[in-house]
Amino acid sequence: MTSSNPVLSVVGVSKSFGDNEVLSDVSFQVGKGETVCVLGPSGSGKSTLLRCINWLERPDVGQIHLNGEPVGVTSGGVVMNDRRLSRIRTRIGMVFQHFALWPHLTVLQNLMEAPVQVQRRPKAEIRDEALALLAKVGLSDKRDAFPARLSGGQKQRVGIARALAMRPDLLLFDEPTSALDPELVGEVLAVMKELARSGMTMMVVTHELGFAREVADTVVYMDQGAIVESGPASEVLGAPREVRTQSFLSAVI
Amino acid sequence: MTREFAIVWAHKDRLLDGFANTIWLCVVATVIALVVASPITIALMAQNRPIRMLARGLVDGMRCIPFLLFAYIVYYGFPSIGINLDNWGAGLLALTIYNAAYMAEILRGAWVALPRDEIEAGVAFGFSELRLFRRIILPPLVLSAGPVIGNQLIQIIKDSAFLTIIALPELTHAASSIQSRYYVPFAAFITAVALYWGLCLIVEAGVNVLRQLADARR
């Protein structure tokens, strides 16, 4: 997971909530087209790490770079203003555990909202892309429905399409299937597998070991706010070196 | 009795003029009150404590003044501090400012109840500051607060009747002047009440439409 021009580089990130250190000195890189799965018990800091990458949570220390550009803090060490941070955030797509679709907008409007309002790209072009994305996630017939009328699996596929509509350099998934009924997990994972194969750069916090085994280039195992072990999926999942990884995997399987 | 209503009917133009003024006044006051309330709501939700406390003080203070007194202050009192308004200006200002405080509190309540995830998604997708409020926070806010805002509009309609005391030619003022000239209090006031009632029914119908829009999105 080290490459000369990583899409994402995280160096020495730590974060505490009060006395509770949730991330301690986390460093890693994600290369272009790579899919990284982050595993670990709940409370291990996986989601906080993901949220620090686009500064939904502000790291206490550490540097984050997206395609070589600093996120959150300028190279001069100054915290960015909202506007500048927002511009960088448009290049990092995010898929949420509880979907977080905008309830007042239709499916198609959800996809078009940020590209039109924030990126200010031509509307006709955005619309064409959005319709193509809906076709890709198999929801063309739902374009005029409101999110409240969709099943969980459909909502999450809209969530993924909404993130893709921004043409992001990096896609973050925060436990994208954890809130779904078991029978709906498959349809979302199928879309994600397809994305990974098409060369999207993805970082996925998940409990789906099967998905990680099949799709991940790199698996990161976290515990108590630190990276315990990371490497190719076959190694970390197949022959973990660390005792903590071994016991986690045997408990989950 | 029939004779009384016949007198009122004969002066229906006057009553309808007053009714039209009441409608105009209340609609304009509601729209401006919502516009004024938006930044107050943002201040009520601000991270910055002094800003939040100032907004809180203004809103609470305003809500504890009887509207009639407030209208007196704006019309009769403001000239003492160099602000001279005619009865229209004073009436509209009083109605607007007074209800902006209520609207701000209504919007704040709805904002607190809004799911955090969706706002956070807005932030993650690059919305910030005013654009975040306008595009991501405000629309669901209006949908969920719609029925309460409608309720407040009914309050505004009833409060506007007080403005007869600063001789604003609204519905109550028209009914009052008809009854005092011809001494037909029952007929004049009952007719005015019926018109207020009809207006409130229309507001209720509007609220129901908004409620259906909200239900389709919930």
Q: What is the mean pLDDT of residues A98-122?
A: 97
Residues of A with CB under 8 A from a CB of B: 54, 56, 82-83, 85-87, 89-90, 92, 94, 96, 98-105, 113-114, 117-119, 146-149, 162, 166
Provide the CA B129 distance to its chain's centre, in angstroms: 27
Q: Give domain limits for chain B.
A: 2-217
> Is the backbone of residue A16 left (phi > 0), alpha (psi -120 to 50) or beta?
beta
Model confidence at A3, in pLDDT bands (50, 70, 90)?
A: low
**The domain B2-217 is classified under which CATH number: 4.10.490.10, 1.10.20.60, 1.10.10.10, 1.10.3720.10?**
1.10.3720.10
Q: What is the mean pLDDT of residues A16-30?
A: 94
Distance from CA of B139 to the nearest CA of A (A): 7
Is A100's CB within 8 Å of B120's CB? Answer: yes
User: Mean pLDDT in chain A?
Assistant: 94
pLDDT score for B142: 86
Cβ neighbours of residue A138 closer than 8 Å, sequence gap 6 or more: A157, A187, A191
pLDDT score for A2: 52
Scan residues 87-116 of B and list those with Cβ closer than 8 Å to A. Answer: 115
Model confidence at A203, in pLDDT bands (50, 70, 90)?
A: very high
ipTM of predicted assembly, 2 dp:
0.94
Model confidence at A190, in pLDDT bands (50, 70, 90)?
A: very high
Out of A4-8, A202-206, B177-181, the most confident range is: A202-206
Residue A88 pLDDT > 90, yes or no?
yes
Strand A69-70 and strand A61-66: the pairing is: antiparallel
Cα dihedral B100/B104/B110/B111 (nearest 10): 140
pLDDT score for A150: 96
Residue A4 pLDDT > 80, yes or no?
no
What residues of chain B lie within 8 A of the CB of A162, using their CB?
Answer: 125
Residue A178 pLDDT > 60, yes or no?
yes
Residue A137 pLDDT > 90, yes or no?
yes
E strands, A111-180, where?
A: 170-174
Residue A253 pLDDT > 70, yes or no?
no
pLDDT score for A112: 98
Residue A1 pLDDT > 60, yes or no?
no
Contacts of B105-110 spanning 24+ positions with Cβ under 8 A: B105/B44, B105/B59, B105/B63, B106/B37, B106/B145, B106/B148, B106/B149, B106/B152, B107/B37, B107/B38, B107/B41, B107/B141, B107/B145, B108/B41, B108/B44, B108/B45, B109/B145, B109/B148, B110/B141, B110/B144, B110/B145, B110/B148
- pLDDT < 70 regions, chain B: none
